[in-house]
Amino acid sequence: MDYDDAIRNLPIYKAAMKDDWVTVERIFDVHPDKLDAKITCWWETPLHIAIGTNSSHVFVNKIIERIMDTDARKLRTRSWWGNTALHYAAKVGNTIDAKLLVSKDPDIAQMVNKDGHTALKLAAKYGRLGTLWYLLQVTKDEPGEDGTSPYNGAAGADLITLTLTAGFCDVALYLVKQYPDLVTQKDREGQTALQVLATKSHLFPSGSPLRFYQHLIYACIPVNLEKSSDHLLASFFSKFILLVAPCTKEIYNMKLRHIQTLKLLEEMCSIVIQRGSQAIAWDVLGTAVSTAVKNGLYELIKVCVDTYPDIVWYEDEGFYLFLSAIRYRQEKVFNLVYQMTGHKVFAATDNPKGDNPLHIAARLSPLPRLKTVSGAALQMQRELQWFKEVEKHVEPLYKDALNKDNKTPRKVFTEEHKDLLEEGETWMKDTSSSSTVVGALVVTMVFAAAFTVPGGNNSNGLPLFLDNGIFLLFIISDAIALFASTTSVLMFLAILTSRYAEEDFFYALPKRMMIALVSLFLSLAATMIAFSATLALLLQDEISWIAVPVTLFASVPVTLFAMLQFPLLVELVYSTYGPSIFKKKM
* DSSP-based three-state secondary structure for 294: helix
Write down the pLDDT at residue 188: 92
Asked if residue 297 lies in contact with residue 198, where contact means CB atoms within 8 angstroms, the answer is: yes
pLDDT score at 437: 92
Q: What fold, for 5-142?
A: 1.25.40
168, 173, 179, 180: CA torsion to nearest 10: 130
The region that residue 245 occupies, defined by phi over 0 for left and psi between -120 and 50 for alpha, beta otherwise, is beta
| pLDDT, position 418 | 95
- pLDDT score at 350: 59
Would the pTM count as exceeding 0.85? no
CA 317 to chain centre: 26
pLDDT reported for residue 460: 61
| pLDDT score, position 586 | 42
Residues forming CATH 1.25.40.20 domain(s) in the chain: 5-142
- Taking CA 323 as the corner, what is the angle to CA 319 and CA 325, rounded to the nearest 5 degrees? 115
Which residues on neighbouring strands pair with residue 463, listed in sequence order? 457
Residues of the chain where predicted confidence (pLDDT) is lower than 50? 227-234, 343, 586
CA distances from 122 to 88, 117, 143 (A): 9, 7, 18
What is the pLDDT, as a whole number, of residue 472? 81
Residue 8 three-state SS: helix
Distance separating alpha carbons of residues 376 and 288, to the nearest angstrom: 33
- Rounded Cα distance, 565 and 133, in Å: 50
Buried b or exposed e, range 337-346, using 16+ CB within 10 angstroms: bbebbebeeb
d(CA 156, CA 340) in angstroms, rounded, equals 34
Q: How far apart are CA 447 and CA 432, in angstroms?
A: 22
List 501's β-bridge partners, or say none. Answer: none
| Cα distance between residue 39 and residue 13, in whole Å | 7
